[in-house]
Structure 1
Amino acid sequence: MQKTIQPKSEHHYHFVTGKLAEHLVRETAQALSKEHGFKYSIGVMPITVAALMTPRWLLRHLDPPTETTHVIVPGYLDCGSDALEEKVQICVVCGPKDCRDLAEVFGGQRLEPALTDYDIQIIAEINHAPRMSRQDVVSRAIRLKADGADVIDFGCDPSNRCLAIGDYIAGIADEGIRVSVDTSDAWEASEAARRGASLVLSVNESNREHAVDWGVEVVVIPDQPSDKKSFEKTIDFLSKQGVPMRLDPILEPIGSGFAASLLRYAETRRDYPEYEMMMGIGNLTELTEVDSAGVNLLLLGICQELAIRSVLTTQVINWARSAVRECDVARRMVYFSINNGVPPKHLLRELVMLRDAKLRPFSLAAIESIATSLKDNHYRVLADDHRLHLLSAGVHLSGEDPFAVFEQLLARSESDNVDASHAFYLGYEMAKATIALQLGKQYDQDQALDWGILTKPEDLHRIKRSSHHRDRRGTEPR
């Protein structure tokens, strides 16, 4: 069990950790030392993940400095701290399992990370942009930038040259937004670059000679995803011509060589460590029928580990309609995770949208206690124990079907206070409670269900409805 100790300036704390979490433990220990005035040291054990330590293993490696007064070990060693203490003859304190909770050992609160830093650029594509009006494209670009996009990609129509492409590009650039162009047409790329585009997607053998004249950075792709030689030839050609570039081996969808394409990204990073890289993650999110948030986080985690510092995404299919916002949250999470050697857990909850990160259940005894303590006729809705509960003074109705619960209410002789407004309110709240039960979400009456980045706060309908009844009747609803 985690202990709490009273820090003193004469204490010296030796924090034990693994290699991955070393940076974060040092950062946390330094902040705590500054706050409490104690001295400290860090014992980085020859193991990657602290959770894999055992008391017996640590006995062979633990060697705290002679001035140590307390050894702080990870929470996974709570069952062996006595043996460790006997060996080192120093007070051994079993700390938290998550090093971000170290402040709790000293009676403080968890140090929440700022999560403001990231180094992955989001390129958000507007697909078939020439089919829209110039104003619609500019408006969409502004919204995407507000969602977190760093660059807006003007997606051309492969079947028709966009003769007005310069006006579109200039319209976006005039808003102070960085813009790229997605085209294989050399004229479109040249005109876009002339009017403000700073990046061209994409270049291979078919158009690489023209890229020399554009004067902007380009994304290099192979002629075919598995054609490594064509990829290398284009890279070599552009390198000799001094054209700035970022490399994209092309991410392929599941069913078309997804795993092999991931390996090509790792190989490209190994073979060309000096070049920036890009991953077109929309190839997976748009072609995989699943909510895109988890897919985006995993792909950005891969990008972060491989130093792929830009991703191309889009929001065409409905299940990926919030992809840019998801990527903005994900890039902050993976940056913190990989740079601090901790899993992307308990950092941000914005991408937990279908279910909730944690539930606060009521026991049946607690529900009964609430029911018997109510003295007014306002209805309370609870969702727990796989059932809906409707409570007020002298009333405790429950069931799995909200229609059945409402029928029980109407069957009661004292239910004459359920007018149309009240019925609508109860139906709305019980619908939310039913959804919460189905998905494993937390239901709190008069509060919006937590949909992560998609959550929209609700007004307090019950309070407004009660005020309406008081104004109309001059009394509380019965």
Structure 2
Amino acid sequence: MVAKPFLEKIVKQLSDVEAKVLSLPIPIAAMMTSEYLTRELPRYPELIEWADIIIAPGFTKGDLKDVAKKLGKPVYKGCLYAYDIPILVEYLKKGGELSTVNPLDELLSKEKKRREEIILAELRREATKSCFEVGGKPVSPKYPLIMGEVFVNEEVDFDTIASKAHRLVSHGSDILVIGSSRLPLDVVADYSKKVKRLLNIPVGLDYFKYEDFSSLSDGEVDILLSFPADSILHFNPKEEFRKTAVVLIPDPFSTTVGDKISSLRAGLKHAIDKGFGKIILDPVLNPPQQAFIESLYAFKTARKEFPGYPILMGVSNFTELIDADSIGVNAVLASIGVEAGVDLFLVTEESAKTSYSVREFRKALDMALLAREMEKPPKDFSVNLLVCKSKKRRGLKPQELVNPVKASRPYPLKADPSGYFKIYVDHDQEAIIVEHYKHGDSKPSITILGTDPSAIINEILERKLASAPEHFYYLGRELWKAKTALKLGKDYVQDEELF
């Protein structure tokens, strides 16, 4: 009823199709059911006779099969939102089939997702043909690997490292790297061995004293980062150690693209002479505004110069050195890396602003690979990195403002006799923590953990931890802020604005 003028405007713009809008006496489409349509539509026999197909709002509840049986005409669910009607019409013109159960949006999204999963599965299958492996993982630009790094500069309880490692793997890391610039190598190596046993995943070491690598035994680690090209000449590995993958970087004073490529070429020759069988080249990505563009050209050149060797790109040189949300930066770097033919990406989450970078990069990489295979820009896939902004506005607003009142006075909060709450966000545990205090107590009476504000509120209700209505309003506001902060990897401080 409310949407009729908007629908008629859209229908008038359709070409090569005749369509009429039927307005039923119901306030909004979301209230419509199959039973309602079975009862109401027979009251419009002329329109039913005229139509070849009847399309109900996508929000209609129930199966429309019985409605079609009653009318003797096909009745299907359309799209959820009116602005997608042109998409629906084009879909039908191409022979697409609608459903009596699911709206068009779900049909298209399921089909799109299924097609994309087939493409990515085929890329993973093609990648297994690679003769180069790291810890059993095939290394190929067909489906590049992500190496997530846990950086440790002081001795900590292994549970802390295990927790971070678990999170990185669950977010998409194919290989885990333990890095340090301070701890003794035997301590860092011990961490990596424990992680490997715990998660059964390839592990690597990113260590500042490459000369100490010679003390390692075969099988302890699967990949070592990183050897400056000129250092390999002076490195004498054990025989069995030569089976470990090693990453070569240009000499520190190599600044131009030509210098980097020459340095890598010399280091590659030395590594081969030393008997290394698995050599990975990293031309080194420069930070923004510090010859970044030239470093990108070095990656493209390295891919052409060394076609038989994997290329690694460490993206933290960019993500950690720019004060911008990592989600957009990772999306761009993944696309650049895929286009440059990169085989492995090293991703870190060392600062708060790069939290969840592995998860972001996994999605970004899938988007870039799909775009490459489908020869289109990385957009309009079932997977995306649109978190804070929408792809398009749905235009959902009332047709007219009835008795508008401008809200200007905030609701005054009063002390609740049942107590008060302290709310925290633990990004490591991926949880919202809520402490309840009775007035006058210095220790909480109970601590509630969760991720769903509704579930936390329900726990508070059942335990009668709050009683004032305005207190529940306050809790709802703060808990949704906490959930948003948790989802975005953003810092949360109770009673402070999130943005």
Q: Output the TM-score relative to the length of structure 1.
A: 0.57
Q: Which residue of 2 aligns with 1:199?
A: 223
**CA separation of 1:344 and 1:350: change in aligned 2, threshold 3 A:** closer
In structure 1, distance between residues paired with 2:217 and 2:332: 33
CA contact 1:166–1:195 (8 Å) conserved in 2: no
Q: Which residue of 2 aligns with 1:30?
A: none
**Residues 178 and 198 in structure 1, CA contact (< 8 A), matched pair in contact too:** yes
Which residue identity lines up with residue 266 of structure 2 in the other structure? K
Q: Specify the SS of the correspondent of 2:362.
A: helix
Task: Quote the residue 1:219 is aligned against.
Answer: 247
Asked if 1:181 corresponds to 2:205, the answer is yes
Cα distance, 1:313–1:397 mapped onto 2, change above 3 Å: same
Match of 2:356 in 1: 322
Check conservation: 2:288, 2:322, Cα contact below 8 A.
yes
Q: Is the 8 A contact 1:4 1:105 kept in 2?
A: no
1:402-459: per-residue Cα shift (whole Å, max 9, x none)? xx2648xxxxxxxxxxx974334445667899x9xxxxxxxxxxxx87997779xxxx
Structure 2 unmatched ranges of 5 or more = 1-12, 18-85, 98-103, 125-142, 413-465, 491-499
Match status 1:164 vs 2:187: yes
Among residues 398, 402, 405, which one is paired with 2:406 in the alignment?
398
CA distance in 1, matches of 2:235, 2:322: 35
Task: Identify which of 219, 231, 235 aligns with 2:268.
Answer: 235
Which residue in 1 is equivalent to 2:146?
122
SS in 2 for 1:312: strand
**Number of the residue aligned with 1:258:** 292
1:102 Cα shift?
A: 5.7
SS in 2 for 1:123: strand
Instruction: Give the CA deviation at 1:264.
Output: 0.6
Distance 1:167 1:429 in 2: 45
**Residue in structure 2 matching 1:139, options 154, 163, 170:** 163
Classify 1:96/1:2 alpha carbon distance in 2 versus 1 (closer, same or farther; 3 Å): farther
Letter paired with 1:238 = A
CA–CA separation in structure 1 for the residues paired with 2:272 and 2:93 = 54
CA contact (8 A) 1:184 1:207 kept: no
Distance 1:104 1:127 in 2: 55
Give, as a single letter, the amino acid of the residue that structure 2 aligns with 1:270. K
Match of 1:376 in 2: none
**Alpha-carbon distance between aligned partners in 2 of 1:2 and 1:203, rounded to the nearest angstrom:** 63
Whether the 8 Å CA contact 2:227–2:249 is kept in 1: the answer is: yes
Q: Following TM superposition, by how much is the alpha carbon of 1:209 offset from its aligned partner in structure 2, in angstroms?
A: 4.3
2:307 equivalent to 1:273: yes
> Aligned in 2, Cα 1:104/1:356: closer, same or farther, shift over 3 Å?
farther
Shift of 1:260: 0.9
Q: Is the 8 A contact 2:338 2:368 kept in 1?
A: yes
Counterpart contact for 1:147–1:324, Cα < 8 Å: yes
How far does the alpha carbon of each residue in 1:268-293 deviate from its partner, in whole angstroms, 9 at most, with x for none? 11111221100000110011100001
Is 1:304–2:338 an aligned residue pair? Answer: yes
2:283 to 249, 269, 273: 249
Query: Measured at CA, do residues 185 and 103 of structure 1 come closer, stay the same or move farther in structure 2, by a change above 3 Å?
Result: farther
Contact 1:248 1:278 in 2 (8 A): yes
Shift of 1:324: 0.7
Relative distance call for 1:168 and 1:242 in structure 2 (3 A) is closer
Q: How many residues are matched?
A: 311
**Residues 429 and 361 of structure 1: is their aligned pair in 2 closer, same or farther, counting only changes over 3 Å?**
farther
Counterparts of 2:479 and 2:222 in 1: how far apart (Å)?
47
Contact 1:130–1:162, Cα closer than 8 Å, also in 2: no
Q: Which residue of 284, 299, 308 corresponds with 2:318?
A: 284
Please tell me the root mean square deviation across aligned C-alpha atoms, in Å.
3.6
Partners of 1:211 and 1:243 lie apart in 2 by 14
Offset, 1:127 = 1.3
Give SS of 1:174's match: helix
CA distance in structure 1 between the partners assigned to 2:201 and 2:226 by the alignment: 20
- Contact 1:397–1:405 (8 Å) recurs in 2: no
Distance 2:367 2:158 in 1: 35
For structure 1, the residue ranges without an aligned partner over 5 or more in a row are: 6-94, 372-395, 408-418, 436-447, 456-478
Q: 1:105 aligns with which of 74, 81, 94?
A: 94
Write the letter of the residue equivalent to 2:235.
H
CA 1:172–1:162 in 2, change beyond 3 Å: closer, same or farther?
Answer: same
Residue of structure 1 in register with 2:385 after alignment: 351
The CA deviation string for residues 157-210 of structure 1, in whole angstroms up to 9 with x for no partner, is 2x4533333422220111202101112434542445535211111112124543
Report deviation, 1:220.
1.0
Pick closer, same or farther for the CA change 1:351–1:421 going to 2, 3 Å: farther
User: Residues 129 and 156 of structure 1 are in contact (CA less than 8 Å); yes or no, is this contact kept in structure 2?
Assistant: yes
> Matched residues in 2 for 1:168 and 1:315: separation?
18
- The sequence identity of aligned pairs, in percent, is 21
1:423 aligns to 2:470 (yes or no)? yes
- Partner amino acid, structure 1, of 2:406: S
* Alignment correspondent of 1:210: 235
**1:313–1:324 CA contact under 8 A, matched in 2:** yes
Match of 2:79 in 1: none
* Structure 1 residue 245, shift from structure 2 partner: 1.1
| Residue 339 (1) aligns with residue 376 (2) | no
| Cα distance between partner residues in 2 of 1:279 and 1:432 | 39
CA contact 1:121–1:150 (8 Å) conserved in 2:
yes
Distance 1:349 1:454 in 2: 19
Q: Is the 8 A contact 1:167 1:195 kept in 2?
A: no
Equivalent residues of 2:319, 2:329 under 8 A apart: yes
| 2: CA distance, partners of 1:4 / 1:242 | 67
Q: Note the C-alpha offset of 1:222.
A: 0.3
Q: Deviations over 1:74-107 (max 9, x none)?
A: xxxxxxxxxxxxxxxxxxxxx979xxx8677324
Classify the secondary structure of the residue corresponding to 1:352.
Answer: coil
2:14 and 2:145 mapped to 1: Cα distance? 40
Q: 1:397 to 1:432 in 2, by over 3 A?
A: farther
CA distance, structure 2, for counterparts of residue 450 and residue 126 of structure 1: 22
Letter aligned with residue 355 of structure 1: K
